[in-house]
Amino acid sequence: MLELVAQGLDSKDRWRRPISPGQRYLLGRDTEVPLSVPWDRQISRHHVQIDVHLDHLQLTRLEAARNPLFFAGESVGTCRVEIGQHFVVGATTFHVAPFETDTGNASVPFEEVAFKPQELRKIRYQDPENRIEVLTHLPEVISGARNDSELYYRLVNLLLKGVVHAEAVAIVTAAGTDEITMLHWDRRHETAGPFHPSRRLVTEALERRQSSVLHIWEKDSPQPHDKTLMQEFDWAYCTPVPGLVLEPAGLYVAGRMGKTFVPGTTLSDALQLEADVKFTELVAEIIGAVIRAKRLERQKAGLRQFFAPPILAALGDELDTTLLEPSECDVTVMFCDLRGFSQRAETEAGDLIGLLERVSRALGVMTQHILDNGGVTGDFQGDATLGFWGWPFPSPDAAVYACRAALGIRAAFAKAAATKNHPLADFAMGIGIAHGRAVAGKIGTAEQVKVTVFGPVVNLASRLESMTKQLRVPILLDEATANIVRLRLPETEGRLRRLARLLPYGMETPVVVSELLPPATDFPELTDAHIESYEHGVEHFVAGEWDDAYRCLHAMPPSDRAQDFLMQQIVSHNRTAPPNWDGIVRLPSK
């Protein structure tokens, strides 16, 4: 492993990046390239290609680069840069160094101090103005970082400013007692070279005690076997930062006794070291809190697309997703399919992005009504949305909420169709709703949760949605849903009419299907008297009294398309029920 160190004209324009042998990197001003140098306007967006070998770099200037690549004082198109050498692009110098991660076996410290939060609270800062000034920049340091590497770089530099006695700072991780890794490190004087954190100290702080630990080594003591920084630095401490990365991680700060940076104070005063630890713990605590908040926000953002606000509230601030574990329960499932998509895809092949935006908007209408009515959005299947109710919390009104969502979706599409030039004006929808037993729950991880529902009721809801095309109605319910809704949904919100007894293609159990209609005030075209007449016609149809059924259905207004399905059955048989008629219409296809 090698390390590339970039230094611009301004002291703050600087970074260190580990680079791996066998890998190829791009260097440029573009923030998306692995080795980004955003501060130097003389560097092109993609300037140099770097091929990393075990002991050197092979550089190639790209054709798109405007300015030259300098090595050994000459402009070159390609060059070999070995460890200890440097090259220049624009106003930035790049040094090649070994990436020092071998921390060796640390010697036993002369003194070890483990800190407890209640003890550090009693410590007073001797330079509070500087500490406060540094802390005011911490939110900007965290929020302004575009990636982890930049965050580590910013944190290390902030600690060097806040802990004025420190000579070196690193962000370290421990993955077992035999492996210590520096995610980023820097020191106050670049010419002093790399340093090696004490493995013993890092392990003690991050894994054994999980709290800040300070080691002080005896001055000038010979350490011929120790490859750590004892001969250069005689004190160091490590403070854990929970949640920074998956492995235990911390802030490692090191320096030497007797160096005075703050007027009137020296490190011979042990309280000054304790004040530095207190400050570092405060920084670590703020970093950890912000990281936890960002992680929770990412989780909640992912969950918002699936869950209504009451469910999210029940999960709590800590997002206890054990509540979302799969379980068997009674659910109401809704499939909502977007009509007209396939035709639009053909006619608008030249503007697929525009079509995608309109489809996304239509799916957003469906999703919003599902969530507004307390449902869970399980998945998008092509141009269809799956929603369900009754999980993770059981509800006797799950079917009612599903019907309210369906009526809201129908109203939204009807309003769009009546609005000139509306993006959704040429789309329609079909909705199938079924109620029954299923298994519902999350799949995935706490970071990326997806939810779904399994069971025959899901297939039935999907079939009902498909049958809306054949029966020429927007919303179909199975018998279980209709039975609940007739009792619990006020007629001022919605009405039902039984349409037929059907055997869907490929299924063995007949289904009594009903249409969900808006209330009479919102849909006066179909009065309650019309619904009553239609249902009488269905009763006659099932009983084989097709002449009577014809007269009842013929009374429907011409705009009502639901009558067409049964009328076709009756007319095709000359108004006479077939022999051995059992009242079931067998659908020949899906």
User: How does pLDDT run across 15-32, given as a tens digit for each residue?
Assistant: 888 888 999 999 999 988
Between residues 226 and 489, the one the model is more confident about = 489
> Is 298 part of any domain?
no
Domain assignment present for residue 521? The answer is: yes
Q: What is the DSSP letter of 144?
A: T
What's 67's domain CATH number? Answer: 2.60.200.20
What's the average model confidence in pLDDT over 495-507?
91
Residue that terminates a domain, selected from 241, 272, 293:
293
**Within a domain: 160:** yes
Is residue 478 domain-resident?
A: no
Among the residue ranges 53-57, 422-426, 458-462, the one predicted with the least confidence is 422-426
More confident residue, 325 or 522: 522
The reply to whether 466 and 353 lie within a common domain is yes
Token pair recorded at residue 28? 């440029």
Q: Tell me 410's DSSP state.
A: H
Q: Which pTM value belongs to this model? A: 0.55
State the pLDDT at residue 100: 55
Residue 46: give the domain boundaries: 2-98
500 pLDDT above the threshold of 90: yes
Same-domain pairing of 117 and 163 = yes
| Domain assignment present for 485 | no
Domain boundary among 68, 98, 128: 98
How many domains are there within the chain?
4
Q: Each residue of 515-569: pLDDT tens digit? A: 999 999 999 999 999 999 999 999 999 999 999 999 999 889 988 999 999 999 9
User: Is there a single domain that holds both residue 429 and residue 518?
Assistant: no
Same domain, 284 and 429: no
The pLDDT confidence band at residue 218, using thresholds 50, 70 and 90, is low
Q: Identify whether residues 288 and 145 lie together within a single domain.
A: yes
Q: Please give the mean pLDDT across all residues of the chain.
A: 82
- If asked whether residues 425 and 382 sit together in one domain, one would say yes
Residues 220, 337 share a domain: no
- The more confident residue out of 351 and 373 is 373
- Between 414 and 378, the more confident residue is 414
311 in a structural domain? no
What pLDDT is attached to residue 357? Answer: 78
Domain match, 136 and 32 both: no
Residue 248 lies in a domain: yes
Residue 315 placed within a domain: no
Give the pLDDT band of residue 333 (cuts 50, 70, 90).
very high
Contact between 391 and 383 (Cβ < 8 Å): no
Residue 187 has pLDDT above 50, yes or no: yes
pLDDT digits (tens, 9 = 90+) for 269-322: 455 788 888 888 888 888 887 777 776 666 666 566 566 565 666 565 555 566
pLDDT tops 60 at residue 231: no
Q: What is the mean pLDDT of residues 465-478?
A: 94
In angstroms, the CA 2 to CA 52 distance is: 8
CATH code where residue 344 lies: 3.30.70.1230
Q: For 101-115, 122-136, 396-410, which range has the lowest pLDDT when averaged over its residues?
A: 101-115
Do 43 and 166 belong to one domain?
no
- The reply to whether 92 and 143 lie within a common domain is no
Q: Cβ(280)–Cβ(237) under 8 Å?
A: yes
* CA–CA distance, 494 with 496 (Å, rounded to integer): 7
Of the candidates 422, 440, 470, which is a domain's last residue?
470
Interatomic CA distance for residues 504 and 290, integer angstroms: 54
Each as own residue / partner, the long-range contacts of residues 187-193 (CB below 8 Å, 24 or more positions apart, any chain) are: 187/160, 188/160, 190/5, 190/7, 192/167, 192/232
CATH number at residue 234: 3.30.450.40
Let me know whether 286 and 331 are in one domain. Answer: no
Cα dist from 2 to 74, 191, 580, whole Å: 24, 17, 85
Q: Are residues 360 and 277 in the same domain?
A: no
Q: pLDDT value at position 219?
A: 56
**What is the predicted pLDDT for the residue at 227?**
42
Beta-bridge partner residues of 317: none
Give me the pLDDT at residue 259, please.
Answer: 52
